Structure 1
Amino acid sequence: MSIKQSAASATRSVKPLSLYELRYYIDSQEVTVLVSCDIMDEDRAWHWAACHAGVGLLLRSEKEVTMLANRQNALRYGIENVKWRKC
């Protein structure tokens, strides 16, 4: 297998990333951030808001789902009203 063939097969197995707009409030100030990821849901939106605010852990892989910052922990640090939409 040549280098071109292996590179082409590697790109086919990667999930396409989508761009999401994430809005949340921290200390009564609205924050907007763009997040590029393959999937977004309510739990992941809260996790990304916590990461952006500096209180969440960045994951190395999707297998570390247990490390996601949850809504309850984010609320403790003043993060609230997290909304997201696909761009």
Structure 2
Amino acid sequence: MKPIDLFVIEYRLHGKPKSFIIRTKLMNNTEAWQWASCDAGLVPIPKPGRPPLKRFSKPMAERFGVTDVRWRESSALTWDEEHSNDREHSGL
């Protein structure tokens, strides 16, 4: 089974909580700060397969109001036929 390459990134922009999900092969703290800066509109989103035009470091992002960047792998969804049938019969 292929590993999941979906990540949840949570951060604050001028004190307000923000979050998004991104599909990428590589995720670490540096990448999370870069993607949070893209989501906040500070840098353009790079075209697929190309490196970013400008890298935003943690100190640079913090100057523009991005703080508390955290990331984690997205949870894998396991489809359970038994429970899906229960849902159909319960009217949900």
In the superposition, the TM-score normalised over structure 1's length comes to 0.71
For residues 9-28 of structure 1, what are the structure 2 equivalents within 5 Å?
Answer: 18-28=5-15
**C-alpha distance in structure 2 between counterparts of 1:62 and 1:44, whole Å:** 15
1:43 to 30, 49, 74: 30
For residues 49-68 of structure 1, what are the structure 2 equivalents within 5 Å?
Answer: 49-60=36-47, 64=51, 67-68=54-55
Cα RMSD of the aligned pairs, angstroms, is: 2.0
| Bigger CA radius of gyration | 2
The number of aligned residues is 72
Higher share of residues assigned helix: 1
Structure 1: gaps (5+ residues): 1-15
- Runs of at least 4 residues of structure 1 off by over 4 A? none
Q: Secondary structure at the match of 1:64?
A: coil
User: For residues 21 and 48 of structure 1, do their structure 2 counterparts lie closer, same or farther at Cα, with a shift above 3 Å needed?
Assistant: same
**C-alpha distance in structure 2 between counterparts of 1:40 and 1:18, whole Å:** 9
In the superposition, the TM-score normalised over structure 2's length comes to 0.68
Deviates more, 1:54-63 or 1:67-76: 54-63
